[in-house]
Structure 1
Amino acid sequence: MPRYYFDLLDGGVLACDEEGLLLPNLQAAQAEAARSLADMARDAVDDLTATPDKRDMAIEVRDAAGPVMQVKFTFEIERSKH
């Protein structure tokens, strides 16, 4: 079973996954990345005082051979001008 690593990129700050997860295939890794990114986004929205008007988040998935995919989320607030 391959090991996948999930590196977190939040506002330009990269946190590398040193342990990874053993998963059966790339589809399982994609689902794990999507769930993790949804949790990150939810946490960012829950703390609106710390969230800037635009925030880019991503999970870069890699295996032993290198990068295999990137799952991205952008949270942006556009205020109307009155």
Structure 2
Amino acid sequence: MPRYYFDLLDGDILAVDEEGVELPNLPAAQAEAARSLADMARDAVHDSMFAVDRRDLAIEVRDADGPVMQVKFTFEVERSRH
């Protein structure tokens, strides 16, 4: 079973996954990345509620041969003047 690594990007901050996880195939890795990113996004939106107007999050998925995909989430607030 292939091992996939999920490196986390929060703006310019990179957290490299040194352990990885064995998954049956690339669609399973994509589903895992999407679930993890949804959790990160929920926490980031809550933490950033009034602190920032934009937050870029991503998970870069790689296997033993290198990068295979990147899953991204951007939270952005555009305020209107009244």
Q: Same fold (TM over 0.5)?
A: yes
Structure 2 portions without partners, runs of 5+: none
Q: Secondary structure at the match of 2:19?
A: coil
- Write the deviation string for residues 50-79 of structure 1: whole angstroms up to 9, x where unpaired: 4x1001000000000000000000000000
Q: Which runs of 4+ in 1 moved over 2 A?
A: none
Match for residue 4 of structure 1? 4
Deviation at 1:18, TM superposition (A): 0.1
Match for residue 80 of structure 1? 80
Q: Secondary structure at the match of 1:71?
A: strand
Match for residue 57 of structure 1? 57
Aligned AA for 2:11?
G
What is the rounded CA distance, in whole Å, between the counterparts of 2:70 and 2:15 in structure 1? 14
Match for residue 13 of structure 1? 13
**TM-score, length-normalised on structure 1?**
0.94
Pairwise CA RMSD of aligned residues? 0.9
Structure 1 portions without partners, runs of 5+: none
Identity of aligned residues (%): 81
Q: Secondary structure at the match of 2:17?
A: coil
Count of residue pairs the alignment pairs up: 81
